[in-house]
Structure 1
Amino acid sequence: MLGGMTTNADEPATRPRRRTPAGAAVLREDVTEAIRAAVFEELAAVGYARMSIEGIARRAGVGKTAVYRRWRSKLHLVLDVVSAVAVGGLPVPDTGSLEQDLRLLYEVTARALRHPLASQILPDLQAEAARSPEIAEAVQQALRDGQAGVASGIVAAAERRGEIRPGADRDLALDLISGPLYWRSVVIRAPGLPKDHLETLSRATAQALRAL
């Protein structure tokens, strides 16, 4: 503390600051967001294997210490970003209809998977996962947690409306809901979706869920 001022973990010590608890490091949210954005750009540019904390920091316009204050390794940084996108990027729709809930989810997911950065990053992480059990487990967990929350919300709403029977297998429901579009867009990387594909997929998935 200098002259009644506290220092910020990401700002010069000479700037006046509001008093914070002793020993507390104030992490600026704009710096955190800049680092997260840099992770996506760096992954798309060089891939996970060649990506470095130095490169991320340089792209974000911060020092390496700003990155290490938030994440202890490259892997934890990437998984945190992937998990945040998986969980926060998808809504839990409740349109009043199982089929329409699925259609809305698929529209949002399809747009996300078509994003240039996503189309480069996801296959690269899948390739790294094939070489590293640690990355494989962590990536699968991050993606599954995000999708599971959305799928469970859709199934729970459908159960309340009486569209599917109570106690349906949630793991199987997640596979039915998330598998087909991810397979087509990420695994085999089909060039685009046929007209009315999402509508047909929504209808077929709803029928499968009703049969659980």
Structure 2
Amino acid sequence: MPFQHPEEIGYGYVIERYVTRKDSGRARYFDLKSGRILRPGWPHTERFTRHLIDDAATITDAELEALLGYEWRSRLTAGWLIGVGRRATFRKRIGDLLLASEFCFSGGAYCFALARFGTHADAEILTAYLDRYLPRTDLRYDQPAALGALLRLDAHLGTHHADRFTQPNGLWDGWVQALAHLQDSPEYIPAERHRWTDLQCGFAHGWTQP
């Protein structure tokens, strides 16, 4: 499907309303991508989060589709809104986008949403993604976010999908070792990826109904 600016399908307002709105002085997509929302003591947490939750509850499916059909900023924002609102009807759509990996950055939001949905179907999508992209040691896409989400789902579901990726000298180790700048970074330890996904989901869970 070709990328479309939302204006082309009658939804030109969604970028300003959902993606570039400034509840913190910076655009929403920037705050979501940077992880500032998870920092203790961030002064804009309550205002930012209340507006994010309100939007996640009221955005229409058509508006979400308009965002998902455009570029990475809008897709990233849509992924977060889908995850916060647990809009599981979008599971296949964001799963397809994750596996296609057409843009950088937005895939982490899809992984967050799948972690929020919390089912075996979501674990299967993440497993398929890692099967496809961990062997690609020349590429840095959303492998860390996908592993963190899968580890969280394994812990929640009592499954072991991630075990074959994280075993010593397995696909995860091979991917990290192939990228020299990652080798000594604690950020790429599987437990840290799991912790980061827990932080994201804990943030959403703490402000929304279970």
Give 1 or 2 for the bigger CA radius of gyration.
Answer: 1
**Same fold flag (TM > 0.5):** no
- Work out which structure has the larger RCO, using CA pairs closer than 8 Å and 6 or more positions apart in sequence: 1
Q: TM-score, normalised by structure 2?
A: 0.30
